[in-house]
Structure 1
Amino acid sequence: MARITVEDCMERVSNRFLLVQMAIKRVKQFREGYEPLVPSKNKEIVTALREIAAAKVVPEDELSAAAAENRAE
């Protein structure tokens, strides 16, 4: 399986600190019972980074912007 790097994730997230927050939040969700959005047999943190790199998980501000755009239509 291909290696995941921070650079792969930085193509999707503009800020390293935001990337860390997103990954931590996703790991906590896994521990609460959420299912991974990408197939992975790796540790939770690697799975979270894979999801971010695959654009399966996006920053909350992007979700807020999309929701506001939908309401405006």
Structure 2
Amino acid sequence: MARVTVEDCLKKVDNRFDLVLLSSKRARQLMEGADPLVPTERDKNTVVALREISEGLVTTENIDSLIAKSDEYSFLDGDVETTVEG
């Protein structure tokens, strides 16, 4: 596993604030079931998101289209209600 640094990601993103927003959006997509764009190597979603950004696969320009694709993978709807009988 190659180590990903903030400096690697900042070569692709303008500033640290945008990097935080971009990486958190992508990590959330991965958590919700979106397919990773890089081999995961058992990394956590946040690390995978940073690796995707550092490789230029996830950008501020394409993150919204990736969000739309990840919505197809959502398994839970906010309106779902569960009852437990006891």
Query: Can you give the 5+ residue segments of structure 2 that lack an aligned partner in the other structure?
Result: 63-86
2:51 equivalent to 1:50? yes
| Percentage identity across paired residues of the two chains | 52
The one-letter amino acid of 2:9's match is C
Separation in 1 of the partners of 2:57 and 2:18? 15
2:38 equivalent to 1:32? no
2:4 equivalent to 1:13? no
Q: Deviations over 1:7-65 (max 9, x none)?
A: 000000011000000010011101211010000120110000000000000113xx5xx
User: What's the TM-score once normalised by structure 1's chain length?
Assistant: 0.78
Q: Number of residues paired by the alignment? A: 61
Separation in 2 of the partners of 1:38 and 1:7? 19
User: What's the TM-score once normalised by structure 2's chain length?
Assistant: 0.67
Separation in 2 of the partners of 1:31 and 1:4? 19
Runs of 4+ with deviation above 2 angstroms: none
Separation in 2 of the partners of 1:43 and 1:49? 10
Query: Whose helix proportion is higher, 1 or 2?
Result: 1
Separation in 1 of the partners of 2:28 and 2:44? 13
